[in-house]
């Protein structure tokens, strides 16, 4: 229910305090989930989340309808955090400069989102909202590749350019990065160099 100006003015400090404490607790719960993911605990219990957040299990369900709502809130926070990285990519300069920019951006981005992505992969069902969010991010990342290599793609035949885009999208996907880092055990720098080398081979 929306409050009138008079009702808002009439709110007591204790009411304001409760609102602030509630917001603080909600933030602590989301941050606790982030921290557990970083620790490799991808399917934490509500008890583990509550202990990490230094609150109660009851408090979790006072602030979130269910676990899916909590995960959606976490992804919303993560979206805000990755926005500067998404906006920092420059499509100017030589091919070498653009590759260097892309390598740095994707490395930072994927290292940041990796814990949450691993956690989501363990969930048998995720909401349409979360699925759509991941799909939107993938589409935006693909669009960045089109801009980053527009000069090279523009001089190729239609089919050659189309094939190159699919290869580039695969190479610079989170899944490729995750394999290089966690299955092939490459460092961030090594993974980036490997992707840059492969990119030079698939560009038309």
Could you tell me the CATH number of the domain that includes residue 43? 1.10.10.60
Q: Per-residue pLDDT for 6 more than 50?
A: no
26: number of Cβ within 10 Å: 19
Rounded to an integer, what distance in angstroms lies between the CA atom of residue 121 and that of residue 22? Answer: 30
pLDDT recorded at residue 15: 54
pLDDT recorded at residue 68: 87
Q: Based on the domain organization, do 34 and 70 belong to the same domain?
A: no
Confidence category of residue 7, pLDDT binned at 50, 70, 90: very low
For the chain, state the CA radius of gyration: 21
Reported pTM: 0.84
Q: Could you report the per-residue pLDDT of 101-156, keeping only the tens digit for each?
A: 999 999 999 999 999 999 989 887 888 888 898 999 999 999 999 999 999 999 99
Q: Based on the domain organization, do 118 and 53 belong to the same domain?
A: no
Domain ranges, residue 123: 66-202
Q: Based on the domain organization, do 54 and 84 belong to the same domain?
A: no
Mean pLDDT, range 47-72, rounded to an integer: 92
H-run or E-run covering 63: helix 57-63
């Amino acid at each position: 229910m929306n409050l009138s100006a008079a009702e808002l003015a009439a709110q007591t400090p204790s009411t304001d305090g409760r609102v602030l404490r509630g917001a603080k607790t909600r933030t602590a719960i989301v941050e606790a989930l982030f921290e557990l993911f970083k620790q490799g605990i991808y399917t934490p219990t509500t008890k583990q989340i509550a202990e990490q957040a230094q609150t109660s299990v009851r408090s979790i369900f006072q602030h979130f309808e269910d676990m899916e709502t909590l995960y959606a809130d976490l992804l919303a926070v993560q979206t805000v955090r990755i926005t500067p990285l998404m906006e920092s990519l420059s499509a100017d300069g030589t091919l070498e400069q653009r590759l260097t920019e892309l390598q740095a951006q994707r490395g930072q981005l994927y290292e940041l989102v990796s814990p949450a992505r691993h956690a989501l992969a363990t969930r048998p069902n995720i909401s349409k909202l979360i699925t759509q969010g991941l799909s939107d991010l993938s589409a935006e990342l693909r669009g960045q590749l089109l801009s980053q290599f527009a000069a090279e793609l523009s001089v190729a035949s239609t089919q050659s350019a189309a094939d190159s885009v699919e290869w580039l999208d695969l190479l610079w996907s989170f899944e490729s990065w995750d394999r290089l880092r966690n299955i092939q055990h490459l460092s961030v720098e090594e993974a980036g160099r490997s992707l840059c080398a492969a990119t030079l081979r698939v560009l038309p």
